[in-house]
Structure 1
Amino acid sequence: MGITARLDVIGIVVADMGKALAFYRLLGVDAPASADGEPHVEVALPGGMRLAFDTQDTIRSFHPGWTPGTGGVGLSFAVDDAAAVDALHDELTAAGYRSELAPFDAFWGQRYAVVLDPDGNGVDLFAPLAS
């Protein structure tokens, strides 16, 4: 195969841009407050990738038959240590976001938790366990 593709954008479809961006700002995504009412938002990530958010109406504007699915997006945020997983999980749930998996010590060697964003996408929080 002569074509080389590189992952460039991770896209998330959202019901409410402001609610979605508020959640992701708590995870360190640097989206300006002025973006809360926009139909499409892109945020540069370390390493040159981009995280893009589109409202459901934006997707329907070019794909009229589109309907929201279940799952489909998986994002994982690394933090420094196990205590930080617990603290971030607590901060997100205290802000009203729903926990899907409370922090636990996973058999693969990480402190791990999952919180749902406003659109029900699972967002993993993880850190290596001390050896």
Structure 2
Amino acid sequence: MVVSDMAASVAFYRRLGLVFPDGAEAEGHVEAELPGGMRLLLDTEEAVRSFHAGWRPPSGGGRTSLAVRCEGPAEVDALFAELVEAGVHAELKPWDAVWGQRYAVVLDPDGNGVDLFAPLP
């Protein structure tokens, strides 16, 4: 994912439980390991332009969307409240979705949607 502010993005994703190396806030490229061997890579716009001079941010809204599975409905509510208290934009407040999940959406520092969800009992 290309980010406009590495420090803000690293802080946001750390709040969601991702682990980045110490000092990641000042880097142009960082990685966090995800379950199943996948990795989330963050690159600053400047880092991308260093090898792709014509790169421009996508237009027309959010760039991507991620989802975070919480332990239960209470964790959806608590994590949402923690993020909003920290200044994160609340896109959709927690609610019990018709498909059987407690569900909420926040936006990361670049406007990407991050869904918070947990199965309802």
TM-score, length of structure 1 as denominator length? 0.87
Tell me which structure has the larger Cα radius of gyration: 1
Q: Which runs of 5+ in 2 are unaligned?
A: none
Matched, 1:25 2:14: yes
Question: Which residue in the other structure is 1:55 paired with?
Answer: 44
1:33 Cα deviation from its structure 2 partner: 3.1
Give aligned pairs, total.
119
Q: TM-score, normalised by structure 2?
A: 0.94
Write the mapping of 1:1-131 to structure 2, written as runs, cut at 5 A: 12-69=1-58, 70-130=61-121
Stretch of structure 1 that moved more, 59-68 or 24-33: 59-68
Within 1, Cα distance between the matches of 2:101 and 2:17? 20
> Offset at 1:72?
3.0
Of 71-80 and 20-29, the range deviating more from structure 2: 71-80
Letter in 1 for 2:86: A
| Aligned CA-pair RMSD | 1.0
Asked whether the equivalents of residues 63 and 111 of structure 2 are also in contact (C-alpha less than 8 Å), the reply is no
Shift of 1:47: 1.4
